[in-house]
Structure formats: structure tokens, C-alpha cells
Amino acid sequence: MRILLADDHALVRDTISVYLKAEGEAEVVTVPDFNSAMETIRDNGPFDLILLDFNMPGMNGLEGLRQAIRQSAKTPVALLSGTAPNRIAQEAVDAGAAGFVPKSMAAKSLLNAVRFMVAGEIFVPSTVLLATDEPTSDGLNATLSQREKQVLNGLCRGMPNKEIARELDLQEVTIKLHVRTLCKKLNAKNRTQAAMIARDAGFE
């Protein structure tokens, strides 16, 4: 499998890329924005699948998706997002997307979704069709305590619990409790997915 992954968050690119390479035996080419994706499709194709972040620079939502589909010929193109409204999943498929992949998906489920789309099928998880709206930056700021926002900031910077605890002058066990609470509030499977969702929501 040869996959193009376009996302402006390094944490997302690195996490997904490492897993697909290790477990899916895939070759993954990563770029940080839509314009780079279009250049890579043109100059370094073909790919078996193209994954585009819905909110990255230059994407312009579904318009970028349509442009990538036109550029990529027969290669399936899918949206990757942690914050797009659920209706976008159906609109993306209606526009010709191979699927819609939430960033909160477990790693093994993500790999299965990728294989599914490479095989020519359309993938949209039932949880997206049934779920409530995903968090936004304003929503995160309203629902998280100041301490939770500080811990989440550390997660987004890729810091382990021990370093976050040292920076905030707290016990490591306290940070673990905050991480657990954050995962519940963000509906994330683990700390990495919590950081992905927060970064994609524009959390700083």
C-alpha cells in the first residue's frame, strides 16, 4: 500500500504514519498542507489512498476534496478529521470521497478502514453517523477547567506525564487523573487521540 497523508499537525502525521508503516506494511508519504498534497499527487503518484485533513491550510473544506478527487484520477480520496460536523461525512461521500475517518478512531480500526478504502469500498463509521457534534475550540475552553487545559496543552506538545507534572508543579498521579478525565470529555481512546482532537479543534 502506498498512502499520501496530508495534515498540518505533526503529531497526527507521525502517529498515523508510524502505525500504518508498522502494522499495515504501508509506504506513507506525509505533507503538511493542501498545496503540498496537490503537488505530491501530481509529481509523486500514483497512490493507493489519499488521506486529507478537513481543516488543514489551503484545504477549503469540501472544495479541496473535490479538487483532489479531480487531480487524483482513480485513486480513492478520504477525509480525516476530529472536528468536522457529522453532516460533512455524508456530504464528502456524496462529493465522491472514499470515506470519512475520525481522528479519534483506535489504531487498529484506522488500519482496517484504510484497507477497506484501498479495496475500493466506502468507509464511514456508524459512530460518526450517530454521534453528536465534535468539539470545537470554544467548546473545549467552555467545558475544561484551567488545570485540564494546562494538561491538555502538555499532551498537545507530546510531553509525558512526568514532564507535565514537573512543569505544573504537581504529582504525576494527579496528571494521570487529569488525562483520564480529558479522554472522557473528548471521547478519546487514549492521550494521543485526545491531543489529536484538541489540536484539530484549534486548541492552543
Q: What is the CATH number of the domain that holds 67?
A: 3.40.50.2300
Question: What is the reported pLDDT for 132?
Answer: 45
Residue numbers in the chain where pLDDT is lower than 70: 126-143, 204
**Is the CB of residue 191 less than 8 Å from the CB of residue 155?**
yes
Same domain, 101 and 11: yes
Question: What is the reported pLDDT for 135?
Answer: 59
Same domain, 103 and 144: no
Same domain, 120 and 52: yes
Question: What is the reported pLDDT for 138?
Answer: 60
Same domain, 162 and 110: no
Range of the domain at 155: 137-200
Question: What is the reported pLDDT for 137?
Answer: 61
Same domain, 46 and 69: yes
Same domain, 114 and 180: no
Q: What contacts 34, CB < 8 A, 6 or more positions away?
A: 6, 52, 56, 57, 58, 59, 60, 64, 68
Question: What is the reported pLDDT for 139?
Answer: 60
Q: Compute the residue count for the chain.
A: 204
**Is the CB of residue 33 less than 8 Å from the CB of residue 58?**
yes
DSSP bridge pairs for 80: 53, 101
